[in-house]
Structure formats: C-alpha cells, structure tokens
Amino acid sequence: MLNYDLYPYKAEMEADASTELRIQQNTKRKVSMMQGELITNIREDILGVGCRVYKNGLYGFASTPDLSSTGIKGVLKKASQNAGLLSSKIKTAKPAMLLPVGNGRYVTDYMMKTSDQKVYIDALRELDSYIIKNCPGLLNRSIVATEDSMEKLLAVSEGHDSHSIIPRSYIYVFMTVEGADGSPVEVFEPIGGFGVFEDNFASLDEAFKVTDELYKRAMDKKTAVYAKAGLKTCILGGHLTGMLAHEAVGHTCESDLVLSGSVAGEYLGKEV
C-alpha cells in the first residue's frame, strides 16, 4: 500500500491553474503453465509521481520516479513550466477550469495484500493435477494465473482528493481437443474478478467447478458443426451488448475523435 502524504503539496499549486498531482503504483503478476511445465513467471512493480497542470487553455505534464519532497516539488514546477511553454507558442489565454464540483477526500478501506510467486505457482500445479486426473483425452492444456492492481494517491487544486486501489486477479484455463475432422479445437474460460489472488483463490473449488464445465464444452465441441452462412437473428447477452455499445458508440463519441471528423459529430445536438 502507498504510504505517502501528498496533501501538503497542495500549498505549492498555482492559484491561477488547475492542478492534478498523483502518485501511482502499478503491479503485475503472471504465471503460466503448458502441459505442466512452467513457461512464464513475471513480477513487475512500477511506481512514480506525475503532475498535470491546466493553464491558459493548455495542459503541461511532468513525471519522475523520485518520490522525495524534492522530486514531487520538481514535477509540480516542471508541469507548470510545460503548460507555460505551450501557451507561449499557442496564444489561447483561456481561464482556469474552476468547476463547481465541491471539495472532499475519498480514502479506500481495501487493504492490499502481496503474495509470493510461490502462491501462484502452487495454485496452478494443484489445478493442473486436477485436470490431468479429471479431463482425459486432451491434446493440450494451458493455465495462466494473473494479478494486477492500480493504486493512486491524488491531490487536486479543486475537487476531491483520493486514495484508490483497483486489484483484480484471474485464472485462465485453456483446453485443446481433436475435432471430428482431425483439426484442433480450443476452449477457454477466465475465473476470478476484483481482489488480489488470495482473495479469489484461497480455495480452488470454483476453479475445479469451472474446469469440469469447460471440459464438457470441449467434448461437446468435438462434434460441433460450422454455422451456415447468411443473415441470422441473434440474441445477445448483456455483457456482449455492453461491449459493442462501448466500442461502436462510446469510442466514436470521444471528443478528440469528434473534433477530428468522427461520424458522431454529425449528430451533436440532434435527436436520433
């Protein structure tokens, strides 16, 4: 967990600018096995401080891995200088974004735990042994354990300060079988969600259950037939329709894409 106090540095922020000061730590853990052999074992931690300053209608940014007082004050100053440099080249003279958003502070109550790599490896070995025992006839089997998190300390010139963390962890199970025509057929399923690895996989009971279901799908898919070409009526689940709306509509409406000519710009202010 991040244990830094950013909030005293709010006194260093310029009065005529909108400033966001952030310490962020990204973590990544990944272990993968194929046919029982360990092929990936990754542990990564990235930590630094960044600052974004909005002044005269333009943003300036700076960052550093130096989390000392000197480093933090340095990125505050450099981000402001960068905004000033841009505004000296592009004469916009727009005022600061003084938005009526109120002030406050959010602090997460989630306590982040760190696991040794052995925890991921032992879990995959146990699951792999289960697959060997209960899923005969596979051409190939692969399992992957992942965990990543993004933790942020945020101090702003106006608005809400925060300390947030979003961890997630998954086990992916892949199975390959031989289809009726002799070609390989693969199925896979992710297991997990919000939380660190030991939150979601203190017990592998759910992973065993999903593995059994996945094996049945793999066996059923051996004799599956290809869909016939042509127009079809499809019934889509909520997850897929949400993803399609995000990709086809959400990205199209992003302001930079609209300004650069996105089709969504033709419908601004119109009822559709």
Q: How far is CA 266 from the centre of its chain?
A: 32
Mean pLDDT of 117-141: 97
- Residue 39: pLDDT band (50, 70, 90) is very high
- Report the pLDDT value the prediction gives residue 267, as an integer from 0 to 100: 72
Of 45, 50, 4, give the one whose Cα is nearest residue 25: 45
Query: Nearest 5 degrees, angle CA 188-CA 192-CA 196?
Result: 135
- Residue 94: pLDDT band (50, 70, 90) is low
How would you class 240 by CB atoms within 10 Å of its CB: exposed for 0-12, middle for 13-18, buried for 19 or more?
Answer: exposed
For the cut 70, the answer to whether the pLDDT of residue 93 exceeds it is: no
What is the Cα–Cα distance from 188 to 41, expressed in whole angstroms?
Answer: 21
What is the Cα–Cα distance from 201 to 198, expressed in whole angstroms?
Answer: 5
Q: What is the pLDDT of residues 200-251, one digit of tens each?
A: 999 999 999 999 999 999 999 998 888 889 999 988 888 888 898 888 888 8
- What ranges make up the beta strands (E) of 97-203? 104-107, 140-156, 160-178, 184-194
Mean pLDDT of 175-184: 92
Q: Tokens 């892949």 map to which residue?
A: 174
Question: What is the chain's mean pLDDT, rounded?
Answer: 91
Q: What is the pLDDT of residues 142-177, one digit of tens each?
A: 999 999 999 999 999 988 999 999 999 999 999 999
**pLDDT over 70 for what percent of the chain?**
95
How would you class 23 by CB atoms within 10 Å of its CB: exposed for 0-12, middle for 13-18, buried for 19 or more?
Answer: buried
